[in-house]
Amino acid sequence: MSVAALVLAAGRGERLGASVPKAFVLLAGKPLLVHSLEALAESVSLDWLVPVVARADLGRFTSLGDSMNAIQGVTKPVVGGDERQDSVRAGLAALPEDVEWVAVHDAARPLVRPEDVERVIAAARSQGAAILATPVRDTIKRVRDGQIQETPPRAECYAAQTPQVFRVELLRKAVEKAAADGYRGTDDAELVERLGISVTVVEGHGSNLKVTDREDLEIAERLLAQRAAGGELR
Ligand code: C5P
């Protein structure tokens, strides 16, 4: 029953305004991708960590050299696609046959806590599919053309994070159906939901932020420093 993580690092991340793609931007002197892989490597349930990188970044990945070799379970990189969903598809196609469960993780979430990775994998194993998510603090509005269309009850609203964990066969089916329908989702669970399959939510931690802009990078630096000092704020 082996479990693999697809670690998605093939995006450009232009909002960060860096000279290198987002996954290779340094946080406390180390690329976001390396942080993410190191955090996942601490999870005892993951057998393989599969980096998914853009073809143009294969050289960059290779030059990580020793820091990559030191991380348990990291495989050769898989070349990603134009959009996140294409990168997931490429990663799934490259998984060895005996992999039964897959945890999809954004390399742009460098601070994921190993205990949360364990919890979401355990939930998927008992329920079939599970994601990390946090309850939202703000009231969410669905807006079109500047006008509110709907206000979903806040107590029912969660912000989806990664890892998102599924049986490999289930995610393959979901991704293939989305491709056949020309449907583009913004996370993996959405594609599984379209099959009418229920996905369990495991409450994650606010520190598992997705680094999108400079401010996020500064917040991540502060969170890392707090962790190093033995404490962590939500
Ligand atoms: O762009 P966004 O921040 O939503 O990307 C989330 C994650 O998906 C990032 O870690 C990014 O590198 C990855 N991604 C990818 N392939 C793409 C686009 C995004 O692997 N084509």
d(CA 210, CA 187): 13
DSSP 151: -
Q: Which ligand 1 atom sits nearest the alpha carbon of residue 53?
A: 20
Q: Is 9 in the pocket of ligand 1 (CB under 6 A)?
A: yes
Q: How far is the CA of 84 from the centre of ligand 1 (A)?
A: 5
Pick from 228, 165, 166, 232: which is nearest to 205 by CA?
232
Question: Does residue 233 lie within any of the structural domains?
Answer: no
Q: Is 87 in the pocket of ligand 1 (CB under 6 A)?
A: yes
Q: How far is the CA of 132 from the centre of ligand 1 (A)?
A: 17
Percentages (nearest 5) of helix, strand, coil residues in the chain: 40, 25, 35
Q: How far is the CA of 229 from the centre of ligand 1 (A)?
A: 30
Question: Does residue 123 lie within any of the structural domains?
Answer: yes
d(CA 4, CA 229): 31
Q: Which ligand 1 atom sits nearest the alpha carbon of residue 23?
A: 12
Q: In total, how many domains does the chain have?
A: 1
Question: Does residue 157 lie within any of the structural domains?
Answer: yes
Question: Does residue 74 lie within any of the structural domains?
Answer: yes
Q: Is 81 in the pocket of ligand 1 (CB under 6 A)?
A: yes
Pick from 137, 166, 142, 172: which is nearest to 154 by CA?
137
Question: Does residue 110 lie within any of the structural domains?
Answer: yes
Q: Which domain holds residue 18?
A: 2-228
Q: What is the pLDDT along the chain (234 residues), one digit of tens a residue?
A: 799 999 999 998 778 887 899 999 999 999 999 999 999 999 999 999 999 999 999 999 999 988 888 999 999 999 999 999 999 999 999 999 999 999 999 999 999 999 999 999 999 999 999 999 999 999 999 999 999 999 999 999 999 999 999 999 999 999 999 999 999 999 999 999 999 999 999 999 999 999 999 999 999 999 999 998 887 755
pLDDT of residue 230: 83
pLDDT of residue 12: 87
Question: Does residue 38 lie within any of the structural domains?
Answer: yes
Beta pairing partners, 148: 143
Q: Is 51 in the pocket of ligand 1 (CB under 6 A)?
A: no
CB atoms within 10 A of CB 137: 9
pLDDT of residue 228: 86
CB atoms within 10 A of CB 135: 14
Ramachandran area for residue 73 (φ above 0: left; ψ -120 to 50: alpha; else beta): left
pLDDT of residue 233: 57
Q: How far is the CA of 162 from the centre of ligand 1 (A)?
A: 12
Question: Does residue 218 lie within any of the structural domains?
Answer: yes
31 close to 23: Cβ distance less than 8 angstroms:
yes
CATH of the domain at 57: 3.90.550.10
pTM beyond 0.75: the answer is: yes
Question: Does residue 90 lie within any of the structural domains?
Answer: yes
Residue 216 structure tokens: 């996020």
Q: Which of 82, 84, 188 to mutate to test the pocket of ligand 1 (most atoms within 8 A of CB)?
A: 84
Q: Is 25 in the pocket of ligand 1 (CB under 6 A)?
A: no
